[in-house]
Structure 1
C-alpha cells in the first residue's frame, strides 16, 4: 500500500515528531511505501494567492476558484502544488497528522488543503443536474482511497466528551472528516486522538505507540465512518437536504452518518 503522511508540527523533537517517525518505521516495516510531506520542514507556502498560477496577468482581478481551475486545466500551477497532487494520486491512504490548535488544524495544513485541492482536482468535478450535484461526498477524484487523522491535544478526554466544555471531538473534526476528506471521495477512518499531551511519561508513550501501531497495521481493514453519500438517494437534489423520512426530527452533524 502507498501511504502519504502529511505532517504539520514545527518541532521535530515534539511528541508529534516522535510519532511521525514511529509511523514511518511501522508502515515501512509492514512493507508499505511511504511518502512524507513535512510542511514546516518544506517551508510550505500556506496562502492561496495569485502566485499559485504561473500565467496570472498583472492587473487582472483575482478570482481564486477561476484561477485555480485555469491553472489546473492548463498545467500552469506552481510546482509545489503539482507535486502534492501527484503524491495524492499515488497514495492509497492519506494520513493527516497535526496538533489541534484553536479547535482546528494548524494554518499551514489548512493552506496545504486550500492550494492542493484545486478546482478540477478535488472540487468542481462531475455533472450538475436534477439527478446529481457533482461528484462529491463519497465520490470524486479521490474516491477509492482511505484517509485517517492523527490528532494531539492538550485537553483531557473528558473536555472533548459528549458534555465536555470544548464540544465533542467528533463534532470538532467533522469539518475535516466530512468536508476536507469525504467531500473529494476518501473513505474516512475513525481518528487516532491523543489527549493530555503535556502529561505523557515513558510508560504512557509506550502504550500510545502500541495503540497507534495497531491502527496503522489495520489501515486497509478498519471500517470507515458511515457518512451518507450525496447522490445515493438520502438527499434531495438540488436542495441537498436529507429526505424527511431520514433521521426525522433530528439535525446537526450526526444525521449525516448512517
Structure 2
C-alpha cells in the first residue's frame, strides 16, 4: 500500500482550520497516510506565510498540500499560491466566502479549491474580542460546520485525492467546490425537520460573516460597531443551538449517519448506534 504524505498549511484561522487534518484520521489509526501540519498562527501577512509555505515545500515535500486560511485573495495567501505553483506539488486552497474573488484565478493556475461560504469572519474588534470570545465563537462554528455537512464534504473531497494518489494516477483531479446551502444533502438526514433546521443554521452562519464584515470594516463609530459584532456572535450562537437540535432529532430515532474510516482509509457507513460500520 502506498502511503500518501499530506501537508497542511494553516495561516490565520477559519472555523474549519482546527479540524481539517483531524477529519481524515479520527481514530489515529490510518495506515495509508502521513500528515504534517505547519502554520503561522493568527498571522497571515506575506512574510509569515512565505516562511511556512517554503518550509512545507522544501523540507517536508508532501504528495499534496492543503493551504487553509481566511480570504484566499489576500496578499499573504496570494504569496503562498505563488510558491505552491512554482513547486509543482498538487495543492488545494481552502477558504471562506471572500475566497470567491480568487476562484477564477485558482482555476487558471491549476489549484483545487474548497470555498466555504458559511464559515464566517469573527467579530475582530478590540472592545469586543478577547481569547474567551475566540474560543466560544470557534466552538460554535465547529459545531455548525460539523452538523450541517461541511466537515463531511471537505473530508470526502480530500479522501478522493488520497485515493487517486494511492492508485498511482498521473492526473490527480483536485476538488473545485463552493459550499452553499446544498451542503446539507451530505448528511442524508432521516428527518425532514432536521434538514430544514440544518438549512436554517447554514443561512444564519453565512449571514454572520456579512454582519461581522460590516462591524469590522464598514462602521467606524464604536458606539455602533460594538453591538454589531456582538450581534453577529449571538447569531452564531443560535445556529449552534440549532445544530444541537438537529443532532438530537436524529439521535431520537437512532438514525445518525456515521461514516468512520478503517485502517486502509476506506469510508465505512452505519445508522444504528449499536451496529458495526460496513
Flag whether TM exceeds 0.5 (same fold): no
Task: Give me the TM-score of the superposition, normalised by structure 2.
Answer: 0.40
Q: Per residue, is there more helix in 1 or in 2? A: 2
Task: Give me the TM-score of the superposition, normalised by structure 1.
Answer: 0.42
